[in-house]
Every structure is written in C-alpha cells, then in structure tokens.
Chains A and B, each alone.
Chain A
C-alpha cells in the first residue's frame, strides 16, 4: 500500500525547520557577503550595505544577465525562523543536550539584536566649538524633509519628518509622491528628486542658472532662474547633497509654492517658507536630525599631536550636560571613553576643521548613537559561550564515564 503523502503544512514546516534550508541560507549569505564586500569598491560602503545587507530582494547581474537575489535582511529573517523552528521547537529536548539549546538561543538573540539595532538605532554627529551648546544630532548619510509651523517669534515646537525610507522610492526616475498630514493646511508633491547635485569639490553644479541653460540640455524645468540636474553620486555618501522639485498646494488645489529644495547646511537652515491658513510654515530638505533629551556644552577640546607633526595622537572633549538650559554634570569624552547617558552614547569621533593650522580654533566632532540593543550581542556571546561550555563539559563527562566503564569492563575481563 502506498504511503499517504504528508500534508502541505507539514512539508512546509519540515522545509523551514530543516538542514536543507539552513545550508541554502548560509550558502546565499556567503555569496551575498562576497558580492556586498566587492560592491563597496564600486558604489561605496553605504550604498553597498543598503543594496546587499539591508534589503529583502536585490537586482544584480551575472555578466549581461539580470538576476533577482534575496537580500541579507530576508535571508536573516529566514535563518531566524529556521533556527527557531529547527534548533529550538523541533529539536529533541533532552537533559543530555541543554547546551545546544542554550547556544542556539544565544544565536537567535544576536540575530534579534541585529533586527532591533537596524530598526531602532538613532545615529548622528554633533560638532561643537568651545562654549557652544547643542541638543540635536544629524545623520551624515540620511536625508529627510522637515515641515514645521513657526510661531510669531519664528520658533518651532515640533517638525513633521519624512525620513529617508519614504524618500528612497523617489530616487527612481519619474517617481513622484504627495505628502500630507491632518495638521498641515496644505499638501506637497515631491518629484524629480536627485540624490546629488554637487561635483567632487562640493560645488552646486547640479543647480544651474537659467542663463546657462544651453550648457545643461538635460536640465529639468527652470523655476525662478534655477533647475535641478542630477550629478554623479560620490562613493563617499556623506558628500552627496540632494535636491528636488516641490509643488505645495492647498486642499482646494490652489498652488501655494512651486520651487526647488536643496539639501541644507544643518547649522544654518534656509527652508522654503509657505504662508498657509494664516500660519507660517517651513519645508526643509535636511540631513536627518534627532533631538536629544539633554544638551551638551563643550567646555574644552584638547588635542595632542605626535611630536614634530600635525597628526593627532590623542584628543578629548570636556563637556557639561545641559538640562533645561542649565549646565549640570561634567564629563570627559576621549577616544576610548565615551559618555553614556539616558540610553545615548557619545563617542569622541573626530575634530576639525580638517585644514586647521597651528593655533586655529578647533571644533570637536562627537558621534552620538542610541541603540537599544547596544550591549545585546555581548550578552548573546555570553549565552552562546555558556551553552558551548555546558555542551562540551557534558560531552567530556560522558566520555570520561564511558572510558571508566570500559576500563572497568577490561579489568573485570582480566
């Protein structure tokens, strides 16, 4: 009698929790790691990371043949599922092998930490001269559009933020997207978004004047004497400055503004100003900013050079934490000694200006991050180590027991 076929759900479950999928996924990870690493040479660190390591799927080519591959994000999700089903749920539970369960639990924990870090980390920079204060950081590579209502003094209490994740689809040629919010008396359309409008020297060569129209046959529409012309993107992603066309409309359809937004200097925002509903609003294309729940004031920046050179040997920042406008605790931040407060870590990252001469005033550059899973990989490693130690000790004791038994047997036989 023929054996009854297994139900579909069981076959899927077996596949998802099986070694076959684990081997396939690990092989794909190997290939993607190789491709992603090699691609960094061509497109730079961030773009390669986004394309290969942060995507669900990616388009690539083998020679002239276009192919679609799963991204590391998808592979990691499947690997998590595979480990959970195969090594935890489906695996034989026995007091003889708790170490393996613990070790696989540790691997799952690290994969989960990666997921949390990827989705919830806030990273940015803060540059301060001595005496300066700041309570916001900005990301060097991600851009955003911030929309804010200003009171009579020109101040903003909050900003609506369109993050890079919603701007990314606009990188495609021909893409356009209308953004709205119930608290905003208008909506606006973003189109012909260009990821970079600067040349290698940082000049805005992608925003030509109308009088030079002849030199830019590919230029889009000219608005108030300027247009947007995409320029070659730099592999150093932080050097790219985006620009886009924007059309602001009232709900009735009346056009309030038709203009261009160009990526702004985070220290001197110069946004598009819109008057709507008797209120003043600003729309700014800016590096992604994050507000901190506290401020930092730089008291002193110290840089020590290697003798006889201008190469920094050591640099450090003495700062005050500022709460509600008042300076509070003092911290010393150096290269291996970050400041940790309220879930944020402030590292001594750099200093500038890069072309500073001896005696010039210097600023400190602090890298700030808030990663809820900051320490999780460390804990995960401890868990894996503990699991391995338990497993190998059990194996060792089992081996010793077997050896003792076999010695006894031999002794009895003699």
Chain B
C-alpha cells in the first residue's frame, strides 16, 4: 500500500532465485488451490509461495508484537477518554461549564477530537506495525486476466443473442417494435412536465421592486426613516437603505426576496465631483437624466452587483468608487455608476429620489433597470 517495492526488493534479502523474470505464471490461480503440498519448501507452510514470502525474523516479530500492543493499549485508553470527555461538559447547564459557551465548546471540541484522534491513530499505528514487523513481506505474483473473450465465446454469445432476439419476434415484427418505442416517448417527457410546478414563470417578477412613488426608506437593519440631513452627518457619505415596509410576517418587516432586490446605496456627492455621464438619460424611453434623479447631491444606486449579485458594499470616499468585494466589479458613483473595472456587464441601476413634505427621503419610482445580476431579458419591458 504505502511502500515502494523497489526498495523492499533489496532489503528483504530473499532474491527469489527459483523464478525466471517474466515467466508467464498463467497457472497462478490453479497453483493456489494445490498450495498445501508446498511444504517440501523447508519449514515454510504459508498460503503463498515461499519465494514470494519474506518472513521477518523472530526477534523482529516479537518486537513488533510488543509495539503493536502498546499502540492498541494507547488506543483503548484514548477511546475510554473520549467517552469520558463526552460527559465532562454538559449541554446548556446552569452554573456549570457548558458547551453553550463558545470557549467551553472549543475545549470540548479539542478534548473529544483529541482523544478520538489518539484512538484512531493508535489503531492505525498498531495495525501498521503488525503488517510491517509481524507479517512477512509479500511479493506475490498473479496473472492479469486476459480481458477480451475468445472468438468462440464471442461468436457463441452473438449467435445466441441474435437467435433469441429473432425468436422473440422483436426484430421481425416492426409494427410491434415501433409502437413499443413510441409508447415510451411520452413517458420520457412526463418527468419534465411533473417538474413544472417547481417554480413560477419569471414573467416580470425580476423587473419590479417595492420602490414606488412616495416610498420612504429605512436605514438597513433598523426601522428609522432616513432624512436628507442624515447623509450630511455621515462621515463616509454612504448609507445602505431598504424601502420602508412594515410587514408583520417578516422579522425585518420586509421579505428577503424584496430585500435582495431593493437594497440601495445612498451616496452624498460633493457639488463639483459629478461627471458628464450624469447628464445622459436614465433609459432610452425616458426624458429624465441621471442628474434629475438625484436629490441635493444624494444619489441612490442598487447595492446588488450586476455581475452575479453580491452586495457591492465597499465605497471609497475619495474616488467615489463602489467596489463589489466578491469579484471586484467597480462602479463610479459620480458617473451614473458605470463599470470602471471588473467583470460586471452594466452599471448599477439608479433609483429616483426626492423628499416628502416632512423632509423624509423618498423614492419617486422604481429603478431605471432591473436590479441584481444581469439576465437575458432585463432590457425587455418592466423598469419604471
């Protein structure tokens, strides 16, 4: 298994003089049957040919037995320790060290794992010592089977098969054969049909988000509605926000599906930093420009990367670049979030924003393009 025979050949001493190299030992399988009569080969009476069996010296075997036993005893003790370790730390006990405490959990893990390792290692080491010191070293010869069958066998098989096939009528009665095959076809389609209800058709689902005219926004992870002034105080000029939805069915007040597509980055951009791309129209069938969709230097982009959907959560204030930490698509916040580096296909969709009568930031519609990973029909229909 683990040893290189090249070396063992020499070290084993027995030079197997009886055997001529490359002699076909075709009768190996038969040979083993009449093995018992090989006793005339000196004192050896093992199951394999003496010249293939390099017996260890009695001293080595004795040493091996002691070593192997020592390992097995160690393994036994470690196995007992494993069982004991299980009961040292109870789960979630009051006023006692319990594995609910991460630190204790670590100790428990190390104690259980350590004893298990020792037990396993002890058995493995003992068995290896046994194989290497007590057992002989074997160099048993055995023939590779001739794989292709003989021509007679093949011919006989083929003749039998075709005769049987003919007799069954399968080859001679095409109407029956073809109708049988035809009857299988609908059944082949059946599993595909059965899977239809795995999910809804995409339709326009990916084109729409909960953002709509007048929707306020919560700072992500809270239920505090954002005001335009909040961006002025923020040292990094960037806040992650979600639509202000309070649905009791969800712990966050908004489903994960809706979070996944409606999360936005609000970024405050100093007056002179805007680039020309902001004057482009937000989409071909709209008169609005990207700049029109900002409010008081604040711009809102989808936080979900258009590459494969990680949140593009890193914002570099000095360069106004938005970076996705997964695959490093980089978008320029001052230039309609166009791609400046990395694998993303398109810029981040923009959300039109404004403030309501009470000074809270609101969206005035949906994104200009479907947010999230870019998909085949993203430019079709939907949008705002």
A pairs with B: no
